[in-house]
Amino acid sequence: MLGPNILGTGKDLHVEIVQGAGAFVCGEETAMISSIEGKRGMARNKPPYPAAHGFHGHPTCVNNVETFANVPLILANGVDWFRGVGTPSNAGTKIFSLSGKVRNTGLVEVPMGITLNELLHDIGGGAPAGSVIKAAQTGGPSGGCIPADRMSTPVDYETLRKLGGMMGSGGLVVTDSGTCMVNFAKFFLGFTQHESCGKCIPCREGTKRMLEILERITDGKGKREDMDELRHLAAVISRTSACGLGQAAPQPVVSTLRYFEHEYISHIVDTRCMAGVCRSLLTYHILPNCRSCGLCARKCPVPCISGSKGEIYVIDNDRCIKCGECNRVCPFGAVART
Amino acid sequence: MSDVNLTINGIPVRVPTGSTLLQAAESISIRIPTLCYDKQLTVSGACRMCVVEVAGPAGSTRLEPACSYPVQEGMVVRTNTRELRDARRTIIELILANHPRACQTCIRNQRCDLQSACREYSIDKIRYEGEKRHHAIDTSSVAITRHPDYCILCGKCVKVCKEVQGVYALDFVRRGFSTTVLPPFDRDLAETVCVLCGQCLLKCPVAAIRDKSYLNKVEAALEDPNKIVTVQVAPSVRVTIGELFGLPPGVSLTRKLPTALRRIGFDYVFDTDFGADMAVMEEGHELIGRLQAGGPFPLITSCSPGWVKFMEHFYPEFIPNMSSAKSPQQIVGALTKTFFAERNRIDHKKLFNVSIMPCSAKKFEIQRPEHRLDDGTREVDAVLTTREFGDLLKLHEVDVPTLPDSEFDPILGDSTGAGLMFGVTGGMMEASLRTVASVLDPTSHPRLEYSALRGTGGIKRGSVLVGDRELKLAAAHGLANARKVLDSIKAGEEIHFLEVMACPGGCIGGGGQPLPTDEDSRRRRIEAMYAEDRGLPIRQSHKNPAIMTVYKEFLGEPNGEKAHHLLHTKYSARSPRGF
Ligand code: SF4
Ligand code: SF4
Ligand code: SF4
Ligand code: SF4
Ligand code: SF4
């Protein structure tokens, strides 16, 4: 099917593979087309859609590699074969890239309609020892987070969307009890903000302000109104942005606000990060079971731990940079983090 | 083309297929706010201010940008819901979070689209505070300064430079919050192919692109008792200066200008139109010479300094085709410091020549090394754009529209309708033909108007019979159009005489003109120029008695040795040659 004069039809099919320069937004179809045309990877208005007016103005079919890879198999084995797996509305299989807090990570191909529980526990092997799965982010950096108690629902396009996630790229990032969901949302929003093509004001400027609010919250300087402001900005950004990147970018924040609002509240009201992730909200102090070995004081990079033989060592919290080294090195578990 | 029916805010509307929602709304007097939309440019949909609500299936709605979204049969659209007002307000607040907010000390105070948007949406507080994007100011160019901190990234400068001017001196760089509009490789603008046309400044909705102002230099000269300060006013300024005093575009204030300029303290008030008449003589005789010698064709006009720099960068192979005649500005400047100085026994070193120009590239032209007298003196010492002239008038408390009339000073202030025509696209060529046809065939009835060269089409083509010879003519304005014509000539098209003006519409649309300079104001300014030409007693340059005086007393023959020495120039290829 490749090359000149396919099956004697006089039609040619040539494949040329173009390597992108690494911009995330070039996963958006029109930005990708601009990029292949040699222009800056910026999304264009739709309509006209690429199917009508795409690469150099010609009708263009844009699909993921995974979709194209299915085509020869469907041609060879037939539609019924393809529909034999999956569900009636979501036929076939889907490849997920399983990562984060599961024992088995990597690419897995599963039938559509499998539940997240099956995916994460039966295939992923569940959370590492000593922790429990908290949530899974589906669909890539701008996907929403689905909490553990919703994971018995089947994985298909509609269900994921309803839950606030998405199929997207098939990314699946698993978080566990040691993950701070506010920090998690901040991380991914930081990524999409950085990768916005910079065209739309809401996407370019709005995600930046959301990010700053999240930084404030994880710094212990959040205000209660911040949660409303995040919801407001998220709504404006996803409703008014031109392309999928901007429209989806707030989703990690929106979904964590929906399912993990209590974590936001504890950062803001109690200035506590329950997962112990947000550095500014942590304090280290040395417990009475300190054997005054002095190891922490020697390892502290600042250094801000003082003490001498026979007494309990003390951390100067004004100077502590919350690196956690003392907590890690203490052979007696005498350095507590709260 | 068939029509489409839709409903906007409950009002049924019928518009041609292919219309945008913005056009449909406009047709029923709904004005949707925009910041990045511009009729002259391709649509980018960047600011999202124009989003409107489109009804979808099952009561759902989605927001789409009205500037680019095409109408569809049966569409139900709302343009002013609570959500939309709120979204627009948020967009403005997001811009403000990343903006210097220095209105009182800002050159665009009271003529700023961002400011107007704030007013319209009753922005009464700063909602978001945080990091601001910062990039150094670029003052390298002699005409234009760039202030990226004020930029709202609407992209209009990028697009006008690409699409209208074909120069490609600006583009977006970096991603996300760091996105910035810059010249290639963050070079200084002066080191790029920028031709200083100022079209980007006209498009900029805020103060991110500004005039490099020479007002201080002019004020200092006016106050210097040892200086004799002369001024010349370009043709198109007379029909645009009124806009800075609240008049609609296209009101001519020609005879008010000498009064105004004398009140400010200029010692002599000359007219660039005189220089244009002189340019007709010199360039016209070049054309006649080439007709006799059989080429090289086309002869290409050289009055527009933005065009000249463009040609030197991108099409230096056309240097032999360029008319070597200086621009009217430089002709008046050169003659002021020679002919006028000698005649009035003034030491030319005491003269300070100011010109008031519709053009930012004129600031570049005056400092070209070719435009100096033998002793190194500059022919013109300072250029003020129309806008800066307006500022100067206001500083000097001169209310131009109500002033009494007066005349320009004699000889270098005496001009004809032909000189005036230099201010509009096609006009320079019309003016030349008025003279060339008469010189080649003195018995013919002089033809004064060439309709093929009029109007706002980007490239106008025509032909004219001069004597027994058919001359093929073309006039292009906007440098992207110049590219098209030059490429077509390279591909074999025969043109004998080509006029190029860098700015759309010619000088009436120049980068130094009042804001807004848009389709409507350009059209009205052009009409005013044509009307003024029609009303003038002399409309052919060679019939200007002052021109005859200068040749007789000072220069000798058109294209003669002295004329060549003083009134002609040279061009040289520039790198980079572009992209
Ligand atoms: S939504 Fe963001 S990434 Fe998409 S076009 Fe707009 S600015 Fe670019
Ligand atoms: S957390 Fe780091 S900086 Fe703070 S006391 Fe421990 S070792 Fe020192
Ligand atoms: S650009 Fe406009 S909004 Fe910004 S400071 Fe200047 S006048 Fe004010
Ligand atoms: S002055 Fe003209 S050439 Fe220079 S950047 Fe602006 S639009 Fe482009
Ligand atoms: S410099 Fe002005 S015209 Fe250019 S993108 Fe910025 S705001 Fe728009």
Helix B328-335 vs helix B272-293: crossing angle, to nearest 10: 110
Beta bridge partners of B493: none
Helix axes B272-293, B427-440, angle to 10 degrees: 60
Selected catalytic residue, list B362, B460, B503, B541? B362
- Looking at every residue in chain A, the average pLDDT score rounds to 94
**Cβ pair B529, B234 in contact under 8 A:** no
Give distance in angstroms: CA of B209 to centre of ligand 3. Answer: 12
CB B567 within 8 A of CB B557: no
| Active-site option among B317, B370, B470, B553 | B370
Separation between Cα atoms, residue B187 and residue B194, nearest integer Å? 11
pLDDT band for position A326 (50/70/90)?
A: very high
pLDDT at B439 over 90: no
Closest CA to B393 of B245, B576, B246, B505: B245
Nearest atom, ligand 3, residue B107 CA? 6
On chain B, the residues whose CB falls within 8 A of the CB of A40 are 171-172
User: For this structure, is B64 an active site residue?
Assistant: no
pLDDT in tens, B558-567: 999 999 999 9
Dist. CA A327–CA A290, nearest whole Å: 12
Judge whether residue A58 has pLDDT over 80.
yes
Active site residue B323: yes
Q: Which domains does chain A have, with CATH numbers?
A: 1-62 (no CATH), 93-176 (3.10.20.600), 181-269 (1.20.1440.230), 282-337 (3.30.70.20)
The confidence score (pLDDT) of residue A229 equals: 98
Q: Are strands B171-173 and B51-55 parallel, antiparallel or unpaired?
A: unpaired
The mean of the pLDDT values for chain B is 96
Which of A189, A216, A240 should be substituted to probe chain B, the one whose Cβ sees the most B Cβ atoms within 10 Å? A240
B3 beta partners: B16
Residues of chain B with CATH 3.10.20.740: 3-80
Domain B215-567 part of CATH 3.40.50.1780: yes
pLDDT on residue B577:
52
% chain B with pLDDT above 90? 94
Closest CA to A238 of B118, B43, B83: B83
- The arithmetic mean of pLDDT across residues B200-214, rounded, is 98
CATH number of the domain located at residue range(s) B103-211 in this protein: 3.30.70.20
Summarize chain B as % helix, strand, coil (round to 5): 40, 15, 45
Residue B147 has pLDDT above 70, yes or no: yes
Token code pair at residue B110: 């009271």
Span A241-257, average pLDDT:
96
Check if A53 has its Cβ closer than 6 Å to any atom of ligand 2. no
d(CA B5, CA A15) in angstroms, rounded, equals: 43
pLDDT at B578 over 60: no
**What was the pLDDT predicted at B442?**
83
Q: With an 8 Å Cβ cutoff, are B176 and A204 in contact? A: yes
Local confidence band at A338 (pLDDT 50, 70, 90 cut-offs): confident
Interface probe, candidates A30, A142, A204, chain B, greatest B C-beta count within 10 A:
A204
Cβ contact (<8 Å) for B45 and A208?
A: no
Nearest-CA residue for ligand 3 atom 4 is B101
Q: Quote the CA–CA distance of B242 and B248 in Å, as a whole number.
A: 7
Residue showing tokens 């566990």: A176
Q: Is the CB of A200 under 6 A from ligand 1?
A: yes
Handedness of CA A99, A102, A105, A107 (dihedral sign): negative
Which chain B residue lies closest to A247 (C-alpha atoms)? B63
ipTM: 0.92
Tens digits of per-residue pLDDT, B303-355? 999 999 999 999 999 999 999 999 999 999 999 999 999 999 999 999 999 99
Condensed to tens digits (0 to 9), the pLDDT of residues B548-561 reads: 999 999 999 999 99
- Cβ-Cβ contacts under 8 Å between A and B: the total is 104
Question: Which of B98, B224, B231, B208 shows the shortest CA–CA distance to B157?
Answer: B208
- The pLDDT confidence band at residue B1, using thresholds 50, 70 and 90, is low
β-sheet bridge partners, residue B64:
B52
All residues at 6 or more sequence positions from A288 whose CB lies less than 8 Å from its CB, including other chains: A312
Q: How far is CA B254 from CA A240, A306, B89, B218, B403, in A?
A: 49, 85, 44, 22, 11
B3 alpha carbon, distance to own chain's centre: 37
Helix (H) and strand (E) counts in chain B: 20, 17
A124 touches chain B (CB under 8 A): no
Exposed/middle/buried for residue B319 (C-beta within 10 Å: 0-12, 13-18, 19+): middle
Q: Which residue of B has its CA nearest to A249?
A: B176
Question: Among candidates A16, A31, A25, A4, which has minimal Cα distance to A195?
Answer: A25
pLDDT mean over A290-299:
94
Per the structure block, which two tokens stand in for B470? 């058919």
Q: Tell me whether residue B407 is one of the annotated catalytic residues.
A: no
Q: Report pLDDT digits (tens) over B441-454.
A: 888 777 888 888 99
- The mean per-residue pLDDT over the stretch A63-77 comes to 93
pLDDT digits 0-9 by tens, B98-140: 999 999 999 999 999 999 999 999 999 999 999 999 999 999 9
Quick one: B176 exposed, middle or buried, by C-beta within 10 A (0-12, 13-18, 19+)? buried
What pLDDT was estimated at residue B579? 40
Instruction: Please give the Cα distance from B578 to B569 (Å, whole number).
Output: 24
Assign B276 to helix, strand or coil: helix
Q: A7: which 2 tokens?
A: 């099956």
- Section A219-246 average pLDDT: 97
Cβ–ligand 5 contact at B203 (below 6 Å): yes
Q: Give the minimum alpha-carbon distance from B179 to chain A in angstroms, rounded to a whole number.
A: 6
3-state secondary structure of A195: helix
User: Which residues in chain B have Cβ-Cβ distances shorter than 8 Å to A236?
Assistant: 86-87, 90-91
Single-letter amino acid code for the residue at A17: I
Q: How far apart are CA A238 and CA A222, in angstroms?
A: 23
Place of tokens 């033998």: B374
Indicate which residue of B243, B286, B312, B379 is catalytic: B286
Give the residue from A327, A232, A231, A253 showing the smallest Cα distance to A286.
A327
Taking residues A234-251, what's their average pLDDT?
A: 97
Residues of chain B with CATH 3.30.70.20: 103-211
Distance in angstroms (rounded) separating the CA atoms of residues B514 and B10: 39
Give the separation between CA B213 and CA B144, rounded to whole angstroms: 9
Is residue B103 annotated as a catalytic residue, yes or no?
no
Question: With pLDDT > 70 as the criterion, what percentage of chain B qualifies?
Answer: 99
Q: Which segments of chain A are extended strands (E)?
A: 93-100, 106-111, 133-138, 145-147, 171-176, 284-286, 305-306, 314-315, 335-337
Mean pLDDT of B194-210: 98
Select from B424, B341, B401, B400 the least CA-distant residue to B375: B341
pLDDT in tens, A78-112: 999 999 999 999 999 999 999 999 999 999 999 99
pLDDT at residue B4 is higher than 70: yes
CA distance A290 to chain B (A): 43
Indicate the SS3 state at residue B52. Answer: strand
Q: Angle of helix A261-268 relative to helix A225-240, nearest 10 degrees?
A: 130
Residue A209's pLDDT is 98
Domain B3-80 part of CATH 3.10.20.740:
yes
Q: Residues spanned by CATH 3.40.50.1780 within chain B?
A: 215-567
